[in-house]
């Protein structure tokens, strides 16, 4: 049985600063983000629910930092960096902009219309992003046949994997809001048939604030 465990990275500095933290400007985890990752590491060390899993992270510093904090809890697995599970790339023109500046310059794009339309000028379309993530997730599953992989990635990646593996609409119909450091687990029961075991499991965050207070 092939088992994929997706973890959204801990809270990022970009989220606290309200900026578009693409691969060029991501500066890693906030102090709360590190606490979230440490709480998940403590849980994994205690429950052994990810023992012997291959550890994969996107190329974003916030994902790598989260994975490095988790590694000792699952036996010290090396972190394999896989750019294919990076978040939707906003491109160099938008990467690093504040949310307010982005809206002022480009308006509020619709994420539920044509996935081939331009949402980030100079960046990936949603269709480009979904194709990249889908291709990468299927390759990871093939490379870890009858094994487990712990994939530290991003909310958009988890949304895309959820939709593609369960053969759901590419856009619209429902909304996922994935919590930082939550666990989402899917297992392949047979070729072409995946089972959702859990989504957004964040029991380890009890007692922590939901986000860093913004001034």
CATH number at residue 101: 3.40.50.1240
**pLDDT above 70 covers what percent of the chain?**
100
Q: Crossing angle for the helix pair 31-47 and 61-70, nearest 10 degrees?
A: 40
pLDDT band at 108 (very low <50, low <70, confident <90, very high): confident
Q: Cβ(26)–Cβ(32) under 8 Å?
A: no
The pLDDT of residue 11 is: 98
Residue 213 inside a domain? The answer is no
Residue 127 inside a domain? The answer is yes
Q: Which of 11, 87, 124, 185 is catalytic?
A: 87
Q: Which domain holds residue 163?
A: 2-205
Residue 29 inside a domain? The answer is yes
Q: Which of 9, 88, 144, 204 is catalytic?
A: 9
pLDDT band at 214 (very low <50, low <70, confident <90, very high): confident
Residue 155 inside a domain? The answer is yes
Residue 212 inside a domain? The answer is no
∠ CA 57-63-64, nearest 5°, is 70
Residue-averaged pLDDT of the chain:
95
Residue 211 inside a domain? The answer is no
Domain tally, the chain = 1
Query: Using one digit for the tens of pLDDT, what is the confidence trace for 27-49?
Result: 999 999 999 999 999 999 999 99
Q: Is the pLDDT of residue 176 over 80?
A: yes
The reply to whether 87 belongs to the active site is yes
The pLDDT of residue 68 is: 98
Residue 215 inside a domain? The answer is no
The reply to whether 88 belongs to the active site is no
The pLDDT of residue 173 is: 86
Q: Is the pLDDT of residue 186 over 80?
A: yes
Q: Cβ(195)–Cβ(187) under 8 Å?
A: yes
The pLDDT of residue 24 is: 97
pLDDT band at 172 (very low <50, low <70, confident <90, very high): confident
State how beta strands 54-57 and 2-8 pair: unpaired
Residue 210 inside a domain? The answer is no
The pTM score is 0.96
pLDDT band at 135 (very low <50, low <70, confident <90, very high): very high
Q: Is the pLDDT of residue 215 over 80?
A: no
From the list 50, 16, 32, the residue with the least C-alpha distance to 151 is: 50
């Amino acid at each position: 049985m092939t088992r994929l465990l997706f973890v959204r990275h801990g809270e990022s500095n970009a989220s606290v600063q309200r900026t578009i933290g693409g691969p060029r400007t991501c500066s890693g985890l906030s102090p709360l983000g590190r606490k979230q990752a440490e709480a998940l590491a403590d849980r994994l060390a205690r429950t052994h629910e990810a023992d012997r899993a291959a550890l994969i992270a996107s190329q974003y510093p916030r994902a790598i930092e989260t994975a490095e904090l988790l590694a000792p809890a699952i036996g010290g697995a090396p972190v394999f960096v896989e750019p294919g599970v990076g978040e939707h790339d906003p491109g160099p023109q938008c990467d690093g902009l504040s949310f307010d500046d982005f809206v002022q310059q480009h308006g509020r794009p619709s994420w539920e219309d044509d996935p081939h339309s331009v949402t980030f000028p100079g960046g990936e379309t949603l269709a480009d992003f979904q194709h990249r993530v889908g291709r990468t997730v299927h390759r990871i599953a093939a490379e870890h046949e009858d094994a487990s992989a712990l994939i530290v990635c991003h909310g958009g990646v988890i949304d895309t994997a959820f939709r593609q593996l369960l053969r759901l609409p590419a856009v619209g119909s429902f909304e996922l809001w994935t919590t930082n450091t939550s666990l989402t687990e899917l297992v392949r029961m047979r070729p072409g048939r995946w089972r959702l075991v859990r989504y957004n499991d964040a029991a380890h965050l009890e007692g922590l604030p939901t986000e860093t207070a913004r001034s």
